[in-house]
């Protein structure tokens, strides 16, 4: 480790860390607690991270039915706009959140990333790649003190660099000082190697440069998060390009030790566990949830496949807790 670099913390008891974060999420809010609106909220991974960081969530926006139902179940006191973000006007957003332009502290959002994702077809013309414009439309109208926008690492690869540059220019043109970094959740207390592109912006008139939180934890082993004592290795589950039952030599070499963080959880299929007797099985939702840094108290709607889909689509709450805490310091009054 270089001189002056922050020393990474070794997490001794991951379940205790997750339980503490869960308690923080449900603690009473301070009178001057910072506020957040979450768009493309999904089941609430980002929202939970903000709650863990002491924020008061004024509004969430989500259109997918199962994700919205899961959000309502876990955040019954947060107003939810369940519908197409393109049909949500700035005026309605302000009314639902109970704020005026410029009063909101943080505007959060994870515009759908399937068109950018390296695990998908990566189609540059995918209309979902343009949903960031709806995010920017609301950002311009709300004028929050800061914003956080999350996306996948694939948006800076190949032809997608053009779209990445356009997104960056558009965010800056909204009146913000913007920085973007690729963060890996495994350095923020999450027992999963999951890279995400994080945009942080601070409104120009505040006079503070945008920045990102430094990694604070040593990578957390997957065995610290799941109770399966018979598991000896883990690897990515077969996605849509790798049907169940089809042997793929490239995947046979991707088994990793249980003493390492898990591979990224994708929405289409859970990671696979190799057991001591040589058999294999997919991770259960109860195992994927803590690997995604969702505490035991978080509840799911629908069957196992829906829970895996929600976890695979979510920003890990502990990663967002670190980001939210950092942004809170940037805009502290």
Give the strand pairing for 231-235 and 256-257: antiparallel
Backbone angles phi, psi at 217, to 5 degrees: -120, 150
pLDDT confidence of residue 160: 65
Residue 164: HSE in the Cβ half-sphere, 13 Å Cα cutoff: 21
pLDDT confidence of residue 227: 81
pLDDT confidence of residue 120: 43
Angstrom CA distances, 54 to 21, 106, 166, 328, stand at 10, 13, 33, 9
pLDDT confidence of residue 117: 40
Pairwise CA distance, residues 142 & 90, whole Å: 7
CB atoms within 10 A of CB 179: 15
**Residue ranges of the chain with per-residue pLDDT less than 50:** 1-2, 114-126, 128, 240-241
pLDDT confidence of residue 65: 98
Residue 80 and residue 42 in contact, taking contact as beta carbons nearer than 8 Å:
no
Q: Which among 43, 113, 263, 288 is annotated as catalytic?
A: 113
pLDDT confidence of residue 114: 46
What homologous superfamily is domain 14-218+312-330 in, according to CATH?
Vaccinia Virus protein VP39 (3.40.50.150)
| Token representation of residue 67 | 């994700």
DSSP 268-290: SSPPEEEETTS-EEEPPHHHHHH
pLDDT confidence of residue 76: 98
113 part of the active site: yes
Q: pLDDT tens digit string along 57-115?
A: 999 999 999 999 999 999 999 999 999 999 999 999 999 999 999 999 999 998 875 44
Sheet order of strands, 56-62 included: 80-82, 56-62, 35-39, 106-109, 146-152, 195-203, 176-184
pLDDT confidence of residue 123: 44
pLDDT confidence of residue 296: 96
Give the strand pairing for 35-39 and 56-62: parallel
Read off the pTM: 0.90
Domain range summary for the chain, segments of one domain joined by +: 14-218+312-330, 222-297
């Amino acid at each position: 480790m270089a001189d002056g670099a922050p020393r990474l913390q070794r997490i001794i008891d991951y379940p205790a860390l997750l339980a503490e974060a869960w308690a923080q999420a449900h603690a009473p809010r301070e009178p001057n607690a910072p506020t957040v609106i979450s768009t493309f909220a999904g089941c609430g991974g980002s929202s939970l991270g903000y709650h863990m960081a002491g924020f008061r969530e004024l509004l969430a926006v989500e259109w997918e039915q199962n994700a919205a139902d899961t959000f309502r179940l876990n955040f019954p006191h947060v107003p939810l706009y369940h519908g197409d973000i393109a049909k949500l006007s700035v005026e309605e957003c302000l009314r639902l959140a109970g704020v005026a332009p410029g009063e909101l502290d943080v505007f959060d959002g994870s515009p759908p990333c399937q068109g950018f994702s390296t695990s998908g077809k990566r189609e540059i013309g995918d209309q979902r790649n343009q949903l960031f414009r709806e995010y920017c439309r609301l950002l311009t109208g709300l004028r929050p003190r800061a914003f956080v926008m999350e996306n996948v690492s694939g948006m800076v690869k190949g032809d997608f660099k053009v779209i990445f540059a356009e997104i960056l220019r558009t965010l800056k043109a909204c009146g913000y000082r913007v920085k973007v970094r690729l963060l890996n959740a495994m350095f923020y207390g999450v027992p999963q190697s999951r890279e995400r592109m994080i945009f942080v912006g601070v409104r120009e008139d505040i006079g503070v440069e945008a920045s990102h939180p430094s990694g604070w934890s040593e990578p957390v082993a997957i065995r610290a998060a799941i109770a399966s004592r018979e598991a000896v290795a883990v690897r990515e589950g077969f996605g849509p390009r790798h049907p169940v039952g089809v042997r793929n030599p490239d995947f046979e070499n991707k088994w990793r030790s249980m003493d390492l963080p898990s591979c990224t959880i994708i929405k289409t299929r859970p990671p696979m566990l190799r057991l001591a007797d040589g058999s294999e099985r997919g991770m259960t939702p109860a195992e994927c949830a803590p690997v995604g840094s969702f505490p035991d108290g978080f509840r799911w709607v629908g069957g196992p496949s829906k829970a895996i889909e929600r976890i695979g689509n979510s920003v890990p709450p502990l990663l967002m807790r670190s980001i939210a805490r950092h942004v809170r310091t940037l805009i502290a009054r």
